[in-house]
Amino acid sequence: MVRADSGQDALEALREIKLRGDTVAAMLADYRMPQMDGIAFLEQAMDLFPHARRALLTAYADTDAAIQAINVVDVDHYLLKPWDPPEEKLYPVVDALVETWRAVGDRPVEETKVIGHRWSAPTYEVRDFLARNSVPYRWYSVDEPEGCRLLEAAGLGPGDIPVVITPDGKALRAPTGAEIAAVVGLSTEPAAEFYDLIVIGGGPAGLGAAVYGASEGLRTVLVERQATGGQAGQSSRIENYLGFPDGVSGSQLTERARRQARKFGAEVLTARDVVGLEARGSARVITFSDGSEIAAHAVVLASGVAYRSLEATGCGDLTGRGVYYGSASTEAQACSGEDVYIVGGANSAGQAAVFFSRHARSVTLVVRGASLEQSMSHYLIEQLRAIENVHVRVGTSVVEAHGDDHLESITLCERENGKTETVPCGHLFVFIGAAPYTDWLGESILRDQHGFVRTGPDLLAEGRRPQGWPLDRDPLYLESSVPGVFVAGDVRSQSVKRVASAVGEGAMAVTLVHRYLEER
């Protein structure tokens, strides 16, 4: 290990190492250093050791620098100050950097290429899928010379976008998520036909169940239809999650949980859509969209929720072309200097407003309710009040979106007096309500009037067990109307819609799975 007191001293040390013929596995730089900042240092250091892993140390206020570091020097990781205790915050990062370098060595990092158009909805979906699954990729527009050259080399044209080119040179025209997953190293095929536990859904509840199930010796497989993390994985920053006083992004929390689940031996299948769940004797069987099946002794249903569609004229046609559901972090740089509008009044909308305020000229939060206090945490409301370029319009709805090939403006309506106003807008991010992902469940799984799955005491109408319940005991607390199928997280009726409670329910579900297995 070599340390230096400034960026210039560090560059001198690296030049000496280069002349000696030695190699460098990893470089850690403080963003705020004498003579030059950490990004400038890493940019010059890459000329000497282009394949060394790179990390940037930033303060909480330096989030823009961290994003710049990703774009300018392709930083592998960034650390927030303070990094005490190092055993928890620093050493694991260094270990991961060195392990990656050992695996890759001096070979260039294999990179997936995406060629498309900024206002192409399918292109956005491809980029979002790769980003949410932590797959490194480089984006090329068909309006750029290099994008055209890549298309020509693949024997394709602008009408074929989006095109994904894999590290081994294979070109995929308008691929599905499953096709992309299969060629970029994501696991899509189960290793067995029968497990102890199947977890459906890769949000906080599903990841919690996978970690606890696998760590307690259950043969566990987690099945996710899009990307692990769910809605929480799209959060730009979660600041009220226990144990993270400086906050943590949804993607960071998700990636740690995913690595933890795999460490204990859980399988994680990505881009696999579950379309059926049924009991066959003592087995619980799930069916995939391609007709294949896997079975287990028990199932934890943690399929989560999706943002409800914005019922405004024109929004449907412009989705992915200026109208986005969730934080859509891939659009952050495109928002630079723009006026951004965010629809919603809950924590996810507030977190997105804080995030985009660092990029956009202005951020306007459009809230249907009379105040933020009805739906948003106090700490987040105070943050928003302190940000000069964030504005809040309560009692207001978006009623129409305008634009030809992409979003150009929106019409706002004040609920109290019906007054409308059309304002320029190129980016609209929607965070309204949550629809449970349960349409695929059969009638044997009882749900409430909103589609959320009923469990435990909620199934005992007037003290009676649900019709067709085959056991001599009442359903366990998180057990559905089918014995051995447990429910955790946002998809459960009357659940608390918080990351911490979802993780807790995932862990609790595994405890109840053990009780269920012991009584069989």
In order of their start, the domains of the chain are: 7-104 (3.40.50.2300), 112-175 (3.40.30.10), 203-211+222-257+271-300+435-519 (3.50.50.60), 315-430 (3.50.50.60)
Which pLDDT band, with edges at 50, 70 and 90, does 81 fall under? confident
* pLDDT beyond 70 at 276: yes
Bridging pattern class, strands 112-116 and 137-141:
parallel
Q: What is the pLDDT of residues 207-261, one digit of tens each?
A: 999 999 999 999 999 999 988 888 777 776 788 788 877 777 777 788 889 989 9
Phi-psi sector, 451: left (phi>0), alpha (psi -120 to 50), beta: left
Question: Which candidate, 430, 431, 428, places its Cα nearest to that of 360?
Answer: 428
Q: How confident is the model at residue 68 (pLDDT cuts 50, 70, 90)?
A: low
Residue pair 455/479 in contact (Cβ under 8 Å)? The answer is yes
CA 197, CA 54: separation in Å to the nearest integer?
Answer: 38
Quote the distance between the C-alpha of residue 352 and its chain's center: 13
Question: In the predicted model, is pLDDT for residue 60 greater than 60?
Answer: no
Phi, psi for residue 336 in degrees, rounded to 5: -60, 125
Q: Is 443 exposed, middle or buried (0-12, 13-18, 19+ CB in 10 A)?
A: exposed
Residues paired with residue 487 on neighbouring β-strands, in sequence order: 301
Q: pTM above 0.75?
A: yes
pLDDT band at 35 (very low <50, low <70, confident <90, very high): confident
Res. 412: pLDDT tops 60: yes
